[in-house]
Structure 1
């Protein structure tokens, strides 16, 4: 299984404060499913921001789709970002667009002919249980409904990688199961999926998923030990 993402000794610092992420190294295999866990403040959202190219690291190397993104010219970033679906914790729906038009947006940006937009948008809204809310504006939707629109928008283009920050945090348990099934189906079609969550009950729902755990900005191995920095540094 080829790697779609590779982090090498990545550190992230905001301003002059302490590092939010320190010596983070890992690889994500193409077509795999990952859960990113950790307590509030562990650095999950910061790590996701690096994954979907909203933030550049303070140090280290990040390779995405085989290229060093730290050195990538800014004019190439939009093309890379279109290969990544993102479910934001704060939804980020376009307020003046309907649910239907928010979901259609990635297809239109990618230049999909309008005649080929309607069917997948309707199918996606039906899948997340919002077929009857297609023309509603975000302000008239509940938090859970907005979350489902955001998820539909993120996955409609079948991205090569899907990054989701607490995607089930505003929905009931039944809808959470349905959304995880959607992510699993997308994964089985070949998309690499990374879901950040604090809900450990979700981990058992995808048996083949790989767990990554952050603690105070450092990546832990499955036994709870620090994976990075190397052991000789960890003892010092």
Structure 2
């Protein structure tokens, strides 16, 4: 039986004194599920993701992550919860003066991993995303697709339980979009819960058991009919070959 990794109940989000950006949002995410978050520009997708990766607190409602109420969670406990979540930002947010290797290694260094212990996992991740030959390159010399793969590798180097990606295919060509989706699908088969925000609903058909959530004007459309198929059993599958 699937377990719930995240739950929103009647969540609302308001910036300042304006109208609510999100209103009465309720849903749950099953461990090991693959979810696409869709909707038009301005629907509130990025705001919902911010709530999910704990960079924003809601104005009202309940949010539970990892079986814990995170709305009332003490601030000193937030870093520990955030380490269980990987985020691929739409604008990559790579550190410009760091090499590909060092950008990917950054979360491990922040977590206090010894230099001698991070070389192997970073090299493995470089091979996994097909960038072993670009380890010393700076972000400015990388293509958009290469920067996106660095961002993905950095987001998953610490083995997050949830991976959140905000429009990860928005700035790459269709061939690269397919490669990135292949990486996400492989991660999901290993047991990572995936949440991918996208305008491109055609991506949904490329993941066999993906489920869709659609936001419209800050509300979930048909919240009772979100789940199309049950999520895969977590922990199955292998990483793709280097360069996949």
Do they fold alike, i.e. is TM over 0.5? yes
**SS at structure 2 position matched to 1:175:** helix
Quick check: 2:26–2:223 contact (8 Å CA) kept in 1?
Answer: no
CA distance in 2, matches of 1:224, 1:162: 23
Quick check: 1:35–1:197 contact (8 Å CA) kept in 2?
Answer: yes
Query: Which piece of structure 1 moves more, 134-143 or 27-36?
Result: 134-143
Q: Report matched runs for 1:11-90 at 5 Å.
A: 11-90=12-91
Unaligned ranges ≥5, structure 1: 226-236
Shift of 1:32: 0.7
Query: What corresponds to 2:10 in structure 1?
Result: 9
- After superposition, the C-alpha distances for 1:45-98 in whole angstroms (9 at most, x for unaligned) are 000000000100011111111111110000000000000000011111112211
- After superposition, the C-alpha distances for 1:89-108 in whole angstroms (9 at most, x for unaligned) are 11111122111101011222
List, as ranges, runs of 4+ consecutive aligned residues in structure 1 with deviation greater than 4 Å.
Answer: 222-225
Quick check: 1:165–1:195 contact (8 Å CA) kept in 2?
Answer: yes
Shift of 1:110: 2.6
Given the alignment of the two structures, is residue 169 of structure 1 paired with residue 170 of structure 2, yes or no?
Answer: yes
Quick check: 1:211–1:222 contact (8 Å CA) kept in 2?
Answer: no
Quick check: 1:13–1:20 contact (8 Å CA) kept in 2?
Answer: yes
Quick check: 1:158–1:186 contact (8 Å CA) kept in 2?
Answer: no
Say what the alpha-carbon RMSD is for the aligned residues. 1.7
Shift of 1:154: 0.7
Structure-1-length-normalised TM-score? 0.90
Query: Which piece of structure 1 moves more, 182-191 or 5-14?
Result: 182-191
Query: What corresponds to 1:178 in structure 2?
Result: 179
**SS at structure 2 position matched to 1:117:** helix
CA distance in 1, matches of 2:187, 2:133: 24
Shift of 1:167: 0.9
Query: Which piece of structure 1 moves more, 126-135 or 162-171?
Result: 126-135
CA distance in 2, matches of 1:98, 1:9: 43
**SS at structure 2 position matched to 1:181:** helix
Quick check: 2:22–2:218 contact (8 Å CA) kept in 1?
Answer: yes
Structure-2-length-normalised TM-score? 0.87
Q: Label 1:147 to 1:96 Cα distance change in 2 as closer, same or farther (>3 A).
A: same
Unaligned ranges ≥5, structure 2: 227-244
Quick check: 1:34–1:194 contact (8 Å CA) kept in 2?
Answer: yes
CA distance in 2, matches of 1:137, 1:223: 46
Query: Which piece of structure 1 moves more, 24-33 or 216-225?
Result: 216-225
CA distance in 2, matches of 1:122, 1:4: 30
Query: What corresponds to 2:241 in structure 1?
Result: none
Quick check: 2:145–2:176 contact (8 Å CA) kept in 1?
Answer: no
Shift of 1:222: 7.3
Number of corresponding residues? 225
